[in-house]
């Protein structure tokens, strides 16, 4: 049996303190259900005693049936100038009506003296009174020793007194916090080991921040020293540089250190958890996120692709499928024939009948186009169409006879009006349609769809999810070559397309055209 390390997710509280991170009330409940399904052990719901939004979450989550996770309410020790029973913040913790409550208390004399403006003895009494009050009310208590590592380095005896006070009054677990994120991994290992040795029958947790870029490393060193609970946030959300990134910690513990956290089957949902978390907070997923990012298992250099084709372990530290990800072969001027063959297979091309001469022809065309400004790393849809053209298998689903885009502005404060007309021939029939949009590209998109929908109603499923423009030669100013990348989806698949021109409308047209043709190829075949 593998030894268990308990995962304590603090994204709804600590993570939400990060710049630009915000959960709606509905998103909070959805996120809790996501974590429960993933197998997280504890979900920190927020400051139950400090703000109405967090209080609403505890009201809402009580209506849910979570199958595994336990929700915890979070708060601080009592105020220095009142009894625990009179502290409104502690009353809020009780009102959250959770089995588990997490309270944080000061364990660094610098904070006791300069922030709380009280004495060391009074702070210890605040910790004891708070834990004792909550235990008497029937709550199970986690004690987070804030700034523990900094405090221990200054005054080990005092920091240990803070832990002892919490345990004496009934706390069931101790979380050691590197709140400033400034400790080095070897320091966390050494100090955590001393705490585990001093309290061998107590569950010790580790709560680290990423201010030095070491949040994951310090958390893993804490576990290696004996901690059996890890607190952190999905995608590394959190104040300043963020908290320990559970997206990195969980697979490291499971796949590299031999511990059990969520189990191998649930671990396959890791990428889904990361992407949905970003979606719920309206964040753009980090393509370079370890383990789960789009680029985490992407291979570009020809020699690397050739090696991965022979043995994936040559350039992949784990199997991407273990965390719900997949291998991604990139096509660029650095590619070799192996890149082309693997990418073609990935996109559904019959590579067994693709000889080296054809692969070389595709590679030469890619290099020629990239020299003109195209990039296929994020444009699988355009690369699939390029394959069809080079292999003489391209069958256009319609022919463009012409388009016109008009942008009109009447008066200084009036909004711009964008209108486009498109003339295409589809199955021998000429269609002339017009469309209005928020901008010239949107108008062109609307006009093109209006022309094609009668013949290909399935294009109604296509949604343009992203539109990016890059100026390739800024020195040319308004005459510069422009690259347009469009991300599209139909509810089942996502694909990227690219266009390049000195005219941004023409570049956008190329990307739009490829986006629709890719969908039609997938639906009807080449």
Three-point CA angle 380, 283, 243, nearest 5°: 120
Please identify which residue in the block is written with the tokens 């702070």. Answer: 123
Give me the pLDDT at residue 302, please.
65
Contact 402, 424 (CB under 8 A): no
What pLDDT was estimated at residue 329?
67
Give DSSP secondary structure letters for 386-414: HHHHHTT----S-EEEEEEEEEE--STTS
Buried b (16+ CB within 10 A) or exposed e, 63-102: eeeeeebbbbbbbbbbbeeeebeebebbebbbebebebbb
What six digits make up the tokens of 437? 């949009």
How do the pLDDT tens digits run along the chain, 526 residues long?
Answer: 789 999 999 999 988 888 888 888 888 999 999 999 999 999 999 888 677 778 888 989 998 889 999 999 999 999 988 998 999 989 999 999 999 999 999 999 899 999 989 999 999 999 999 999 999 999 999 999 999 999 999 999 999 999 999 999 999 999 999 999 999 999 999 999 999 999 999 999 999 999 999 999 999 999 999 999 999 999 999 999 999 999 999 999 999 999 999 999 999 999 999 988 988 888 888 889 999 988 787 776 667 766 776 777 777 788 889 999 877 666 555 555 666 666 666 666 665 666 777 777 877 777 788 778 887 767 888 888 888 888 788 788 899 999 999 998 888 888 888 999 999 999 889 999 999 988 898 999 999 999 999 899 998 888 888 888 888 777 766 677 888 989 988 888 888 899 999 888 999 999 999 999 988 888 776 5
Cα distances (Å, whole numbers) of residue 34 to 44, 66, 242: 14, 10, 21
Q: Name the H helices within 317-403.
A: 337-346, 356-371, 380-390
Q: CB–CB of 358/337 below 8 Å? A: no
User: Exposed, middle or buried, 345 (CB in 10 Å: 0-12/13-18/19+)?
Assistant: middle
Structural contact between residues 76 and 89, judged by C-beta atoms closer than 8 angstroms: yes
Note every long-range contact of 61-64, with CB atoms under 8 Å and residues 24 or more positions apart, other chains counting: 61/28, 61/29, 61/32, 62/97, 64/29, 64/32, 64/33
| Amino acid 467: pLDDT | 87
pLDDT on residue 121: 93
Rounded CA-CA distance 448/422 in Å is: 6
| CA 450 – CA 38 distance, rounded (Å) | 43
CB 475 within 8 A of CB 484: no
- Supply φ then ψ for residue 24, to 5 degrees: -75, 165
pTM of the model: 0.72
Closest CA to 116 of 162, 169, 79: 79
Ranges of each domain in the chain: 6-280, 298-371, 398-455
Looking at the domain covering 398-455, what would its CATH class be? alpha beta
Contact 254, 266 (CB under 8 A): no
Cα–Cα distance, 124 to 165 (Å, whole number) = 6
Rounded Cα–Cα distance for residues 265 and 263 (Å) = 6
User: What's the pLDDT at 209?
Assistant: 96
> Which element (helix H / strand E) includes 271?
helix 270-280
Cα(261)–Cα(245) distance, integer angstroms: 14
| Residues 6 or more apart whose Cβ sits within 8 Å of residue 239 | 14, 17, 18, 19, 209
Torsion, Cα 161 163 166 169, to 10 degrees, reads -70
CATH class of 6-280: alpha beta
Given the structure tokens 């660029």, which residue do they identify? 332
Six token digits for residue 209: 């921040």
Structure tokens belonging to residue 479: 């005459």
- CA separation (Å) from 73 to 42, 56, 208, 227, 471? 10, 12, 19, 22, 49
């Amino acid at each position: 049996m593998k030894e268990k390390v308990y995962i304590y997710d603090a994204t709804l509280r600590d993570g939400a303190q990060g710049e630009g991170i915000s959960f709606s009330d509905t998103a909070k409940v959805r996120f809790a259900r996501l974590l429960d399904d993933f197998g997280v052990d504890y979900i920190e719901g927020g400051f139950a005693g400090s703000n109405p939004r967090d209080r609403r979450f505890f009201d809402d989550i009580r209506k849910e049936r979570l199958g595994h996770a336990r929700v915890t309410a979070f708060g601080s020790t009592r105020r220095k100038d009142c009894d625990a029973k009179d502290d409104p913040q502690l009353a809020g913790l009780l009102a959250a009506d959770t089995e588990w409550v997490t309270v944080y208390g000061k364990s660094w004399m610098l904070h006791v003296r300069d922030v709380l403006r009280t004495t060391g003895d009074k702070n210890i009494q605040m910790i004891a009174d708070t834990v004792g009050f909550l235990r008497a009310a029937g709550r199970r208590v986690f004690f987070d020793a804030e700034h523990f590592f900094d405090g221990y380095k200054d005054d080990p005896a005092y920091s240990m007194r803070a832990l002892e006070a919490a345990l004496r009054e009934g706390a069931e677990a101790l979380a050691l916090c590197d709140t400033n994120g400034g400790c080095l991994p070897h320091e966390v290992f050494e100090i955590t080991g001393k705490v585990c040795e001093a309290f061998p029958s107590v569950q010790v947790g580790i709560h680290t921040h990423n201010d030095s870029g070491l949040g994951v490393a310090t958390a893993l060193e804490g576990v290696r020293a004996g901690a059996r609970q890890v607190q952190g946030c999905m995608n590394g959300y959190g104040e300043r540089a963020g908290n320990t990134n559970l997206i990195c910690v969980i697979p490291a513990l499971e796949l590299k250190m031999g511990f059990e956290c969520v189990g191998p089957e649930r671990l396959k949902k890791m990428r889904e958890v990361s992407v949905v978390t970003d979606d719920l907070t309206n964040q753009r997923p980090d393509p370079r996120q370890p383990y789960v990012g789009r680029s985490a298992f992407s291979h570009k250099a020809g020699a690397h692709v050739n090696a991965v084709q022979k043995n994936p372990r040559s350039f992949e530290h784990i199997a991407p499928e273990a965390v719900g990800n997949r291998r991604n072969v990139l096509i660029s001027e650095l590619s070799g024939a192996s890149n082309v063959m693997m990418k073609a297979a990935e996109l559904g091309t019959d590579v067994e009948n693709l000889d080296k001469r054809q692969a070389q022809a595709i590679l030469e065309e890619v290099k020629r186009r990239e020299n003109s400004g195209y990039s296929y790393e994020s444009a699988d849809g355009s690369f699939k169409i390029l394959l069809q053209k080079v292999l003489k298998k391209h069958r256009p689903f319609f022919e463009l006879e012409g388009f016109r885009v008009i942008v009109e502005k009447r008066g200084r404060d009036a909004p711009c009006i964008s209108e486009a007309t498109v003339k295409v021939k589809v199955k021998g029939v000429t269609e002339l349609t017009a469309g209005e949009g928020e901008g010239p590209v949107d108008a062109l998109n609307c006009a093109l769809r209006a022309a094609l929908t009668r013949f290909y109603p399935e294009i109604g499923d296509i949604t343009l999810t992203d539109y990016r423009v890059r100026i390739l030669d800024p020195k040319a100013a308004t005459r510069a070559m422009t690259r347009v990348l469009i991300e599209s989806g139909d509810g089942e698949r996502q694909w990227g397309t690219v266009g390049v021109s000195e005219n941004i409308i023409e570049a956008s047209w190329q990307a739009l055209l490829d986006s629709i043709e890719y969908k039609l190829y997938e639906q009807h075949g080449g």
